[in-house]
């Protein structure tokens, strides 16, 4: 059954990338009064993982939160912002009642990270919209991904792919120059302004890109081979004038991939243990109002359609 669920998940992603229809206005409602912290998860296919996602682990570990996972396979940052607006901000049932908290956990953007300025701009727009609606925001960076056989990661090309991916973490943590990060999308009245407004950044930021998810012990690439490639390629020399720094950066690219044992059907999507690790990494940074008991996560498993304590293993009787 789990294999079938993953297959359907992949097929839905292929279909969704053919185009994005206008988002319907949400009609769902919050139901659990004993969980006063209402948390919307918004991401792409990693967030939409159907069987034991990090969102489900967090809901199991945090006794005060009720979640609504609006992640959508194939969606980039623009579509995610539109989805949040239609499904939450325009939905009367999506608004918390008095005495309840509202949080947005934003983890998307990998599907549009080829254009980092667009991704950062639309992520920022979603965060601003959430703040103006009275919500607080958790910003999760993109997770590690990539493989040696893929053209955009081979040799020196991987430097740009890594930089684009890393930009999500740098933005969420306020490390990027605002004007440079938004590029052509910066407002005319703030052109040249390097500083972010408080409402443009998440209340909590977690860097999953530079975390235990990445393959920090992977073998480095052959620096001698990379150096020779740089020596005979004038375009590379113009793009990366510091030969030594470029060779080191290109050699280290495999250490920014997702750990092989955490792969699901590809090098992008974490498997069950990967999602469990994501929840473990995110949980300690969550606010006290969520009622999280992070120490319980290692003992949880995806069992018969939900996250629950792992079944006890019977020990054989002693002889």
Whether 158 contacts 149, CB under 8 Å: no
213: nearest Cα among 166, 264, 154, 143: 143
What is the sign, positive or negative, of the torsion defined by CA atoms of 50, 55, 61, 67?
negative
Q: What is the pLDDT of residue 304?
A: 85
DSSP 8-state symbol, 104: E
Give the per-residue SS3 of 23-68.
CCCCCCCCCCCCCCEEEEEECCCCCCCCCCCHHHHHHHHECCEEEE
Whether 213 contacts 258, CB under 8 Å: yes
Tokens of 120: 């950062």
* Beta-strand relationship, 300-303 and 306-309: antiparallel
Backbone angles phi, psi at 41, to 5 degrees: -100, 130
Backbone angles phi, psi at 103, to 5 degrees: -125, 145
Tokens of 149: 């056989």
Q: Where are the domains of the chain?
A: 28-218+257-294
Q: What is the pLDDT of residue 8?
A: 41
Per-residue pLDDT of the chain (319 residues; tens, 9 = 90+): 444 444 444 444 433 443 455 899 999 999 999 999 999 999 999 999 999 999 999 999 999 999 999 999 999 999 999 999 999 999 999 988 888 999 999 999 999 999 999 999 999 999 999 999 999 999 999 999 999 999 999 999 999 999 999 999 999 999 999 999 999 999 999 999 999 999 999 999 999 999 999 999 999 999 999 999 999 999 999 999 999 999 999 999 999 999 999 999 999 999 999 999 999 999 999 999 999 999 999 999 999 889 999 887 666 666 5
CATH 3.40.50.1110 fits 28-218+257-294, yes or no: yes
**Overall pTM surpassing 0.75 (yes/no):** yes
């Amino acid at each position: 059954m789990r294999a079938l669920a993953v297959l359907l998940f992949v097929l839905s992603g292929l279909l969704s990338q053919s185009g994005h229809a206008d988002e319907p206005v949400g009609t769902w409602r919050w139901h659990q009064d004993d969980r006063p912290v209402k948390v919307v998860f918004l991401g792409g296919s990693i967030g939409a993982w159907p069987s034991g996602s990090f969102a489900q682990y967090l809901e199991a570990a945090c006794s005060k939160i009720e979640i609504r996972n609006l992640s959508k396979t194939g969606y980039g940052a623009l579509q995610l912002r539109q989805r949040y607006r239609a499904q939450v901000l325009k939905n009367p049932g999506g608004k918390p009642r008095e005495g309840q908290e509202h949080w947005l956990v934003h983890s998307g953007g990998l599907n549009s990270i080829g254009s980092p300025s667009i991704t950062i701009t639309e992520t920022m727009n979603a965060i601003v919209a959430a703040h103006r609606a009275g919500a607080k925001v958790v910003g999760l960076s993109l997770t590690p991904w990539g493989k040696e056989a893929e053209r955009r990661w081979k040799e020196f090309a991987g430097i740009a792919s890594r930089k684009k991916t890393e930009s999500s973490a740098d933005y969420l943590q306020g490390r990027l120059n605002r004007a440079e990060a938004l590029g052509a999308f910066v407002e005319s009245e703030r052109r040249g302004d390097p500083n972010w407004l408080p409402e443009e950044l998440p209340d909590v930021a977690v860097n999953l890109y530079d975390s235990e998810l990445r393959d920090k012990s992977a073998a480095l690439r052959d620096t001698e081979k990379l150096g020779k490639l740089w020596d005979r390629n004038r375009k590379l020399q113009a793009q990366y004038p510091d030969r030594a720094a470029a060779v080191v950066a290109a050699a280290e690219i495999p250490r920014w991939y997702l750990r092989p044992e955490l792969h699901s059907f590809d090098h992008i999507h974490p498997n069950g243990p990967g999602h469990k690790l994501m929840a473990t990494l995110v949980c300690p940074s969550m606010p006290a109002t969520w009622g999280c008991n992070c120490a319980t996560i290692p003992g949880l498993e995806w069992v018969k359609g939900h996250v629950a304590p792992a079944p006890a293993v019977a020990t054989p009787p002693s002889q």
